[in-house]
Structures are given as C-alpha cells and as structure tokens.
Structure 1
Amino acid sequence: MQLDIDELRLTDFVDIATSYTNIGFVYANMHLFSQSLINLEKALDILLKQLPVNHPDIEHIYFLRGHIKRAFENISYDT
C-alpha cells in the first residue's frame, strides 16, 4: 500500500512539472520568453527534487531552456 502512495505522489509531481513545462512552451511560442523561463524553472525545481539529474524530462527542460534563452537574447539584440 505504501508503494502505491509513493508512486502516486511522484506521478502528481511529474504531472505538475509537465504542466509548467507546457505553459513555458506556450509562452515561448507567444514570444514571452521571460514568462517561459519562469515556468520552465518551476518545472525544473520540482523535477530535480523527485528525479535523477540525468532523467530525460530534466534533460528536455534544459534543452528547451537553452533554446529560449538564445531566442530571448536574439530578440533583445534586435530591438
């Protein structure tokens, strides 16, 4: 029974982190890069507490964050 509860909690945390990641992606598509990065950081904070550092979900957020930071810098230089 305890194992089921622990798995449910991990799933809940991963679902919340996934929601933050998706929100961050939506903000990035709207070119609201600072809001995007805020949400990706929230997702990363949650996942780093629950999963190993080399987990694919964490690697995916680092990947997205790098692209968004680069896009944000390019927009900043253009204006």
Structure 2
Amino acid sequence: MTKYLQTFLLFVSCCAYSQIPISVKVKDALGNENFHVTCTNDLDANGCIPLHVEYPELKQATTYQLTQGTYNPPIPLNQ
C-alpha cells in the first residue's frame, strides 16, 4: 500500500510542479525581492503595501506550419 501511495504522491508532485511559473518575481515599492511585512511598513491610506510583480509574457501560437514526414523505420516491421 505504501508503494502505491508513494507513486501517487510522486506523480501528483510532478504534475503540480510542472504548473508552477518559476520566473515570477514579487517586489516591494523599493525593488526589494526579500522584504518582511510588519505593522511598521510604509502603508498607504488603506493599510496596504504597494507591490510590483514581474512575470514572463505568455503568448499564443497563432501561425505555424505543418510538414508531413515520411515514416521510415530503421528495421522493417515485417521481420
């Protein structure tokens, strides 16, 4: 039973990790990536901290070409 559970958790963790965007950066107003939020931070009138987020630009492929290749196995299939 533990092998099935380990295999399942490995599969789920791989799938979950594949969906994580790695290059997302969150910065405060001064450009610091490592900042600690406390009650003494420079808060605005609403009690919020201004943050800046940098993430990769996602694009959709709208044009591409397909070319048909010939199937030529290294060993004939009838052997």
Which TM-score band applies after superposition, normalised by the shorter structure?
under 0.3
Larger radius of gyration: 2
TM-score in terms of structure 2 length = 0.27
- The structure richer in strand per residue is 2
- The structure richer in helix per residue is 1
